[in-house]
Amino acid sequence: MEERKISAAVIRRLPRYFRYLSDLHEQQVERISSKQLSELMGLTASQIRQDLNNFGEFGLQGYGYNVNYLRDEIRKVLGMDKINNMVLVGLGNLGQAILRYNGFAGKGFIFRAAFDRNPTRIGTEIGDLRIRNINELNEYLDSHDVDIVVLTVPKGAAQDIVDSLGERNLGIWNFASMDLVGRPGLTIENVHLSESLMRLSYCLKHERKMDE
């Protein structure tokens, strides 16, 4: 599939397309028009055609989109046509919940190891994984193929862990409530839950809807 330089707004929408197409696929829908998809997703049909045209010619006049084909192509674009190996650091409440959540594995995001610094947690098991000592993280990364490090540690600890990762190419899925200082080779995606809650509070107070 050919690709042009894709705007951040389109990238933000892509996983949502994938989710809708996956739901349609599950419901055994084989094809869908941009108009039908637009009504489902609350976008305009022309927005959808424009978004998807970034990745090639998918729709056929009078036929619409082949759901399965389009879903597969978006899966590839998203880098989900392979297994993404993950490790998690920080087994507090949120870390344990993320590790136990079974919605990621089905999409090819698999937890391979989990690390903590708390001696009372090290050696215990969550699901299939034995919690390892955080000191072993680098050794583990040397000897295993890891794509993504999930950080569910307090904000005071997150940057030190990132700095300790050396020159490796990694994705960092950061739940710590701070902005990490990156470096070439690191790809950082932040999930700032408190900020999401504050946006809700803003919209509630001002009777405002957030646009996509």
Distance CA 157, CA 176 (A): 9
Query: Residues 34, 91, 173, 180: which binds its own copies (CB under 8 A)?
Result: 173
Query: Residues 2, 27, 103, 167: which binds its own copies (CB under 8 A)?
Result: 103
Using an 8 Å Cβ cutoff, are 156 and 180 in contact? no
Structure tokens at 136: 């072993």
Does residue 44 touch its own copies according to CB under 8 A?
Answer: no
CB of 58 to its own copies, least distance (A): 18
What residue has token string 């970034």? 54
CB of 56 to its own copies, least distance (A): 15
Q: β-pairing, 170-174 with 186-190?
A: parallel
What H or E segment, with its residue span, contains residue 16?
Answer: helix 8-26
Query: Residues 131, 147, 153, 161: which binds its own copies (CB under 8 A)?
Result: 147
Applying CB under 8 A, the site for its own copies has a residue count of 59
Does residue 56 touch its own copies according to CB under 8 A?
Answer: no
**Burial class for 177, CB neighbours closer than 10 Å (0-12, 13-18, 19+):** middle
Using an 8 Å Cβ cutoff, are 31 and 65 in contact? yes
Does residue 194 touch its own copies according to CB under 8 A?
Answer: yes
Using the rule CB under 8 A, give the single segment among 14-22, 26-34, 65-73, 131-139 that binds its own copies: 14-22
CB of 89 to its own copies, least distance (A): 15
Interface positions, 57-96, toward its own copies (CB under 8 A)? 77-80, 84, 93-94, 96
Structure tokens at 20: 């809708």
Does residue 29 touch its own copies according to CB under 8 A?
Answer: no
Structure tokens at 89: 């650091």
Extended beta strands in the chain, E state: 31-32, 65-66, 84-89, 109-116, 125-126, 129-133, 148-151, 170-174, 186-190
CB of 187 to its own copies, least distance (A): 5
The DSSP call for residue 164 is: T
Does residue 157 touch its own copies according to CB under 8 A?
Answer: no
The residue (of 103 and 119) whose beta carbon lies closer to its own copies is 103
**What residues line the site for its own copies (CB under 8 A)?**
3, 6, 8, 11-12, 14-16, 18-19, 23, 41-42, 77-80, 84, 93-94, 96-98, 100-101, 103-104, 107, 109, 147-148, 171, 173, 177-179, 187, 189, 191-211
